[in-house]
Amino acid sequence: MNVVSRRTFIVAAVAAFVFTAVPATAQVPSGKLVLYTSQPERDASQTVAAFKKTYPGVDVDVFRSGTTEVMGKLAAEFSAGQPKADVLLLADAATMEALKKDGRLLPYPQARLDGFDSGAYDADRTYFGSKLITTGIAVNTAAKNRPASWADLAKPEYKGQIAMPSPLYSGAAAIMLGTMTARPDLGWSYFEKLKAADAVAVRGNGAVVTAVANGEKPYGVLVDFMAFNAKLKGSPIDFIFPAEGNPAVTEPVAILKTTANQPAAKAFIDFILSDEGQKLAVSMGYIPAKATVGMPSWYPAGAKIKLMPTDISKVVETNSANLKRFADLFGN
Amino acid sequence: MARLTVEGLTKSFGSFRALDDVSLQVNDGEFVAILGPSGCGKTTLLRQIAGFDKSEAGRILIGNSVVSSAATHVPPERRRIGIVFQSYALWPHMSVAENVAYGLTVAGVKEPERSRRVDAALSLVDLDGFGQRTPAMLSGGQRQRVALARCLVTEPGLVLLDEPLANLDVHLRASMEDEFVRFHERTGTTMIYITHDQAEAMALADRIGVMDSGRLLQLAKPSQLYREPANARVAGFVGDGMVLPVAIRSVDGDGTCAADLYGHVVRVRCEPTQKAVSAAQVCLRARDLTIVAPDAAGVAARVDRAVYQGGFFRLEAHVEAAPDKLLHLTVPEPFMLAPGAAVKLDVADGWIISGTGRN
Amino acid sequence: MSDPIQMIDAGGLRERVEDSALLWSLVLVVAVLSVLPLARLLLEGIAPAGHLSADALLRVLGTSSTWTATQHSLVTAFGGTLLAVVVGTLVALTVSLTDIRGANAFVFCFVAPLLLAAQVVALAWLQVFGPSSTLLKLIGIAPPMGSRNPLYSAGGIILVLGVQYAPLVFLTLRAGLRSLPQELLEAGLAGGAGPMKVVRTIVMPLMTPPLLASVALCFVSCLGNFGIPALLGIPGNYLVLPTLIYQRLAGLGPGVLSEVAVLSVLIGAIAVIGIVSQDLLLRGRDFRTVSASAVARPFELQRWRLPVEVALWTLTALLLVLPLTALVLTSLVPAVGVPLNFESATADNYHFVLLEHAGTRRALRNSFGLSATAAIAIVVIAVPLAYFLVWRRNRLLRLVNLVTEVPYALPGVVLAIAAILVFLKPLPLLGVSLYNTIWIILFCYLARFLVLGLRPIISGYHQLDRTLEEASQIAGARLLRRLVTIIMPLVAPAAAAGALLIFLTAFNELTVSALLWSSGTETLGVVFFSFQQGGDSTYAAALGVLTVMVSFGLMLATLALANRLPRGVLPWRD
């Protein structure tokens, strides 16, 4: 090679490097990211810590509270005209649907969704499920009976011994209500039977796991990870996958349209959907949304969980009517 | 020292007239008592002078400055007066010395001057060494004196005393009266003394203002009030006078006149300008009545009762001709007549009430 | 006269200006604290998103659940108040007027339940009555699994509410009883009345102001309490207004904020009616008792003394020891439901909460700072405010008085939302935003707990003889000096009762900070709440015990200062 072409080569190489590297650096997310979430606090801090390891330039501010509190805070911010949140990680898709209908969410069509079941994310790419949280039957190890199906709970031997999370206060329970009442084999008659069995609807899954582990209500309707995390710590609690199947929520993540830091927000979504993010969920005791990364330790090897399909738009549509009917049914 | 002038002061509480066009003037260094029964308006007057309540009409001047009027109202903290409250109003969370020193602290007087003046004030009221006690540890009389010391330590030009001896026992009252008199002589402060006790007022005051139902009836020297009451109410209230109807027969130019009292003609005092009218009133005092022999000239009366008072009796009787007219006089021990007995009473002196109030 | 300014301004202009300045600044403070957030909320109710609309109003007022919840609110508020007043009054009279031994220790323990958050108390009682009761299991009389817990009912709510607020009545009443002079009791006894009759005919009528103050305060507290009906009422869908509001918020419908606003107005209206009634009952009556005479000597109980002492300590055992023990036991197990014995007992929960969980230490600092600041600031505002309310009787101030009730009666979540609406955008002149700082939480605490300081202090004023102030006026003291040197020391017992109440309530506060906290500004309530929601009851219990220990420590620390404080300021020290 003569001198001129070598120099040209070098210049070209350098130029190529600059042109590809610089934009890449310019896209490294930085600045502040505000996350509103209703995850348990431990999980929220672990998620954020792992995210910051991958994207050290981003400073994350987390607001964690119950779903009702988070939505109340958001509603107030919307009303006052200056929402502060960039990303939301909430319990269930019904809540996200409501926000989407209100035009509050920013679509992220470039999200990498290979390996994800189509039911796990919104068709319009406004929200994406981060994990799979199923609801099943929790049982105190000292309890006399072991129900094998949802229908079993309605039997007389379980009377007065069941706790369930109230759909009036828990989005996940609202989805469960909508899903189960839409099924012919369960429907509203199932809940009427539960009411006749003196089932108690408490405020949130946390109260259910406490009641079941305590033995106050030896049988409970509960989300999987809570039962298994308690069991790991030594609580006398077992989790049963009922024969009819498990309703599930996906704990979706979404970006608010009014976000002040789109690159960082998108990076957060990327992280959640990445293998690393999904493996983190597994390590926290959740079934991941991307089944291929593995399963949590409590998952029975080789088993296949029967999920109850949820028509999310139908659930959202019938939500207020369902809640009202539930309130009337379980009222005093 | 300050002069107090009150002009046409009026104050109502809702529909109740507490003060009705009251005017008076207290001279520099004078000791004036405001005397009257409960509800006569004397406390209201004091509160107006102090500045706790605003007036509706009239003016108040302390010295030469207007402190209350339609246009001005100087707040109490600026009037430079002292008050001894009926309840003493000692601050329970402070010691005696702190109570007394308060006014000096407010005025910015520093140590050692402040302690000196506090000790001097306590000395003045015979409470040396009581500085560290708290009010709760003191007797009524001692609290009274602390209140006085507190009032005096700031050397105000005008001191108001609101029934200060009302809560003390009889013996203490006498010594406290002396206290006040001595104090007044020593300092020459202008003092206004509110009381319902006429003996107290007479003993202490240079002049007495008698009030009733919001009006000032008469403001005069004690002896003048006693000897020449301006109207029936003053006559009754001061010296426990008896007011009876008379017909004036003749007026002599030297301030006496002859009056027909139920058929008995008596020689009594009157205003020089008094006319001989058939319907007048005379004020009699107990000491001017004596029992005379049944057949002597006098007013016929019947005994109601005789109350023993230690060495003498207070005899209560009514006029035979007019049983609703009551008389009383003192009679030395022993007294033998029973209730219902007839007596004849002679009148040595009296005063024709002219009916108009007079300052 | 040496002061030239005095000579120029002989007409008292300076005093009038000072008086007005103080008055108007107080009105402004209260307006900002109480009126501003509520007005903004009201606006949301009738004009959501800027358009005037009666939709929310009609929707809310037209549903039967609104009126059912209102009825339930009134029932539980009246019931809880009645219970609290009966218990609190009996205890206050016994402790203040008789010669029982260990009175100070008892007062300490009786007031202590205020240290526990309402939901902690309710949870503890639930557990005590339930089949899982560690306590009952230890004794061996635990009810069978699955039996219905009797506390899930209106009666259960009333019981726990009454028990929660009895110390509040006690504190207010005790401050009033402290100033009862001996002569009044002795006059009654000399007149031939027995001690019971003296109490009934002399003491109680004189205690009307503090009694009414505590009734009003109790009523509003019960009305606005969220934690207890949330725990005991939600499972049976026995809703009161605060939990109804919460349910609406959870419902996710559009326009939810305006419905919440309308329901809040309903709560506010009920609270205002309560305070107006109190005012009317107190009007024109004379309850002045503060004087320089010694405090009443106690009645001797003689042979009744031991039974009464036993009864009182049993009460303490029920109210304090029971829930506290349940909490401690829960905090010592490694996981919920594991029976407690020597092998299973562990300090891991405490280790985690104190040493590993960074939020706890921050929360302790934050909660302490917020509560102490709120207590002091509110007392400083309330003393002059009460002066004008009781002794100057301004009509504008009457209105102000009513308004202060409302931020306390509203559910915390509503107040938080109102604060967000007001403070989200930066402040007009300063350009700084309070949102997501600790200052917005402080603001809400000041607004919410102002009434807790104001009511006891107002009743303190009712018992003062105004001539004490007049005497200092005559001595030349202007308003500010009078407030500081004369009035403040005289209302100090009442002020201290208020400050204590504020501190203890704010320390455990949960529902307001649940919406307003941000990184670094979490409070103890927020941390507790997130532990419970996440199913970590053992961590929650450990935190609860730590909170109680810190509060106990603080209360004990006040004893060290006791000598410097005026008499009657500390309820647990003579």
Minimal CA–CA distance to B19: which of B50, B57, B52? Answer: B57
Q: Are residues B105 and B19 in the same domain?
A: yes
Residue C253: what pLDDT? 61
In a domain, B356, yes or no: no
Chains that touch C (3 or more CB pairs under 8 A): A, B
Q: Which residues contact C433 (CB under 8 A, 6 or more apart)?
A: C423, C424, C425, C426, C427
Name the residue in chain B with its Cα closest to that of C17.
B75
Distance CA C310, CA A150 (A): 52
The whole-number pLDDT of residue C473 equals 92
Q: Hey, which residues 340-379 in chain C have their CB within 8 Å of chain A? A: 359
Q: Supply B354's token pair.
A: 């002219």
Burial code of A23-58, b = ≥16 C-beta within 10 A, e = fewer?
A: eeeeeebeeebbbbbbbbbbbbbbbbebbeeebeeb
CATH number at residue B204: 3.40.50.300
CB C452 within 8 A of CB C501: yes
Coil, helix or strand at residue B32: strand
Last residue of a domain, one of B204, B232, B260: B232
Query: Is there a single domain that holds both residue B325 and residue B226?
Result: no
Question: C142 is written with which tokens?
Answer: 């635990």
My answer on whether B140 and B255 are in the same domain is no
> HSE (CB half, 13 Å, CA atoms) of B137?
9
* Opening angle at CA A6, ends A5 and A12, nearest 5: 85
On whether the CB atoms of residues C325 and C319 are closer than 8 A, the answer is no
pLDDT score of C293: 54
Chain A contact for C420 (CB, 8 A cutoff): yes
| Chosen domain end from B232, B249, B272 | B232
Tokens of residue A222, six digits: 């509960």
Closest residue in C to B84 (Cα–Cα): C471
Placement of tokens 């119950």 in the chain:
A66
What is the per-residue pLDDT for C421? 87
Are B93 and C476 an interchain contact pair (Cβ–Cβ within 8 Å)?
Answer: no
Residue type, B147: A
Domain ranges of chain A: 9-130+250-293, 132-248+305-330
- Kindly state the tokens that stand for A286: 């959740």
| 8 Å CB contact of C475 and B106 | yes
Do residues B228 and B245 both lie within one domain?
no
* B248 shares its domain with B221: no
Range with the lowest mean pLDDT among C73-82, C121-130, C131-140, C237-246? C131-140
Residue of A nearest to C149 (CA): A216
pLDDT in tens, B39-57: 888 889 999 999 998 888 8
Q: How do A58-64 and A31-37 pair as beta strands?
A: parallel
Same domain, B264 and B199: no
Beta bridge partners of B159: B82, B191
pLDDT average per 10 residues of sequence, chain A (332 residues): 60 56 61 91 90 92 87 87 91 86 91 84 91 92 89 87 87 88 90 88 87 86 90 90 89 94 94 93 90 85 79 83 84 54
Judgement on whether residues B134 and B37 belong to the same structural domain of the protein: yes
Contacts of A271 by beta carbon, 8 Å cutoff, 6+ apart:
A50, A51, A54, A55, A277
Residue matched to tokens 């210049």: A11
- Round to whole Å and give the CA distance between C112 and C548: 8
- Count Cβ atoms below 10 Å from residue A208 Cβ, excluding itself: 30
Is the Cα dihedral A72, A78, A81, A87 positive or negative? Answer: positive
Q: How far apart are CA B353 and CA C243, in angstroms?
A: 82
Secondary structure (H, E, C), B8-39 = EEEEEECCEEEEEEEEEEECCCCEEEEECCCC
Residue C8 has pLDDT above 60, yes or no: no
pTM above the 0.90 mark? Answer: no
Same-domain check for residues B101 and B173: yes
Q: Are C88 and C169 in contact (CB under 8 A)?
A: yes
Q: Which CATH number fits domain A9-130+250-293: 3.40.190.10, 3.30.470.10, 3.40.1160.10, 3.40.1410.10?
A: 3.40.190.10
Q: Is B359 part of any domain?
A: no
**What's the CA gap between A261 and A33, in Å, rounded?**
7
Closest to B46 measured CA to CA, from B97, B92, B96, B4:
B4
By the 8 A CB rule, do C21 and C441 touch? no
Query: What residue in C sits closest to A70 (Cα-Cα)?
Result: C515
DSSP H or E segment with residue B297: none
Q: How far apart are CA A296 and CA A294, in angstroms?
A: 7
Which residues in chain A are closer than 8 Å to C41, comparing Cβ atoms?
A: none
Highest mean pLDDT among C440-449, C490-499, C560-569 belongs to: C440-449
Question: Is the pLDDT score of C197 beyond 90?
Answer: no
**Domain at B287, CATH number:** 2.40.50.140
User: Which residue has 């004893």 as its token pair?
Assistant: C559
Write down the pLDDT at residue B356.
Answer: 46
Whole-number average pLDDT of chain C: 83
What is the distance between the alpha carbons of residues C114 and C136, in angstroms, rounded to a whole number? 24
The domains of chain C, with CATH numbers, are 18-35+53-327+348-564 (1.10.3720.10)
Asked if B188 and B246 sit in the same domain, the reply is no
* CB-CB contact of C363 with C438 (8 Å): no
| B223 shares a domain with B114 | yes
Share of chain C above pLDDT 90, in %: 19
Same domain as B69, residue B126: yes
Last residue of a domain, one of B232, B256, B273: B232
Neighbors of chain A with 3 or more C-beta pairs under 8 Å: C
CA C93 – CA C85 distance, rounded (Å): 12
pLDDT at B55: 83
The domain defined by A132-248+305-330 carries CATH number 3.40.190.10: yes
Q: What's the pLDDT at C573?
A: 61
HSE-CB of A94 using CA atoms within 13 angstroms = 32
Strands (E), chain B: 4-13, 16-26, 31-35, 57-62, 65-68, 81-84, 158-162, 190-195, 207-212, 215-220, 242-252, 256-261, 264-269, 280-284, 289-292, 299-308, 312-319, 326-332, 342-347, 351-353
Tokens of A17: 């490097």
Which of C15, C486, C490 is opposite residue B77, by nearest beta carbon? C15
CB contact under 8 Å between B103 and C485, yes or no, is no
Number of domains into which chain B is organized = 2
Q: Where on the phi/psi map is residue B41: left (φ > 0), alpha (ψ -120 to 50), or beta?
A: left
B309 vs A233, B242, B329, B333, B337, CA distance in Å? 97, 20, 12, 10, 16
Q: Do at least 3 CB pairs under 8 Å connect B with C?
A: yes
Q: Give the range of the structural domain holding residue B191, as residue numbers without chain letter.
A: 4-232
Helices (H) then strands (E): counts for chain A: 12, 13
What is the predicted pLDDT for the residue at C102? 82
Same structural domain for residues B306 and B209? Answer: no
User: Residue C2's pLDDT is what?
Assistant: 46
Distance CA B34, CA B9 (A): 15
| Residue contact C424–A81, C-beta within 8 A | yes
Instruction: Find out whether B31 and B179 touch, Cβ atoms under 8 Å.
Output: no
Interface probe, candidates B67, B77, B105, B137, chain C, greatest C C-beta count within 10 A? B77
- SS3 breakdown of chain C: % helix, strand, coil, rounded to 5? 75, 0, 25
Per-residue pLDDT band for C19 (boundaries 50, 70, 90) equals: confident
Q: Say whether residue B106 is in contact with chain C using an 8 A CB cutoff.
A: yes
ipTM over 0.90: no
Q: Are A9-130+250-293 and A132-248+305-330 in the same CATH fold? A: yes
Q: Is the model's pLDDT at C462 over the cut of 90? A: no
Task: Please check the confidence at residue C10 and state whether its pLDDT lies above 70.
Answer: no
How many CA within 13 A on the CB side of residue C1?
14
Q: CA angle, C388 as apex, C384 and C394 as ends, to 5°? A: 155
Nearest CA in chain A to C352: A42
Structure tokens that stand for C113 in this block: 């339940």
pLDDT of residue C131: 63
Asked if residue B20 belongs to a domain, the reply is: yes
Q: How far is CA C393 from CA B54, C64, C401, in A?
A: 15, 41, 11
DSSP line for B311-346? SEEEEEEEESS-TT-EEEEEEESP--PPTT-EEEEE
> Which residues of chain B have a pLDDT value below 50?
356-359
> What SS3 state is found at A23?
helix
3-class SS of residue C232: helix
Confidence of residue C294 (pLDDT cuts 50, 70, 90): low
Report how far residue C219's alpha carbon sits from residue C239's, in angstroms, rounded to the nearest whole number: 17
Angle at A44 between CA A105 and CA A259, to 5 degrees: 25
pLDDT value at residue C143:
67
Cβ contacts of residue C391 below 8 Å, gap of 6+?
C461, C466, C469
Average pLDDT estimate for C160-170: 89
Whether B36 is in a domain gets the answer: yes
